[in-house]
Structure 1
Amino acid sequence: MKKIVAVALVLVALMPSFNPGKQEFDTFILVHVKKNLHLEKGAFGDQVVSFLGPALIDQMSSRKDCFFFSFYTLRLPRHPPRYFLGFLHIFLPV
């Protein structure tokens, strides 16, 4: 029983280091956009999205840090906000 408690305490102590940052979320969204637009790597469209995308996504997204995990909001023009939960470097739509 003591070993299980010790392992649980170590995992809880390490969890904040696995809380993804805003940069990781922005990269996640950029990859998702490129995939949905079916852009081939190195094509003109891919280069345009790679150049302009990060700045636009940074302006349209926000993060609320909750220590062990984070809530992200993506506000696209003319669309309702989309919410994501980020933990252990994974992003899940909420």
Structure 2
Amino acid sequence: MRRTADIAFTRSRVAIFIDGCFWHGCPQHYVEPKTRTEFWSDKIAGNTARDLETTRLLEEAGWMALRFWEHEDPREVVSTLVELIGSLGSPPRTPSA
């Protein structure tokens, strides 16, 4: 399955996702549509399950997956990322063959 992080710091092995409130079922802002409710309910549940699986797969591969909601203050998100990634440091470099 093809999945793409919104931002990836490959050396630090950090994948960042900015989840849309509607598409990912934000507990604060998601409002179920008035029409085709079964379709949308299934769609959002599928997206949420895929998000959880993606996070699990990344973590099993040694990555840190971070998720933020689209409504979060970008300055706070950046501040969190700068602090976190700065604390991780760079992994040791392997010599090129």
TM-score normalized by the length of structure 1: 0.29
Larger RCO (CA within 8 A; separation ≥ 6): 2
Which structure has greater helix proportion? 1
Which structure has greater strand proportion? 1
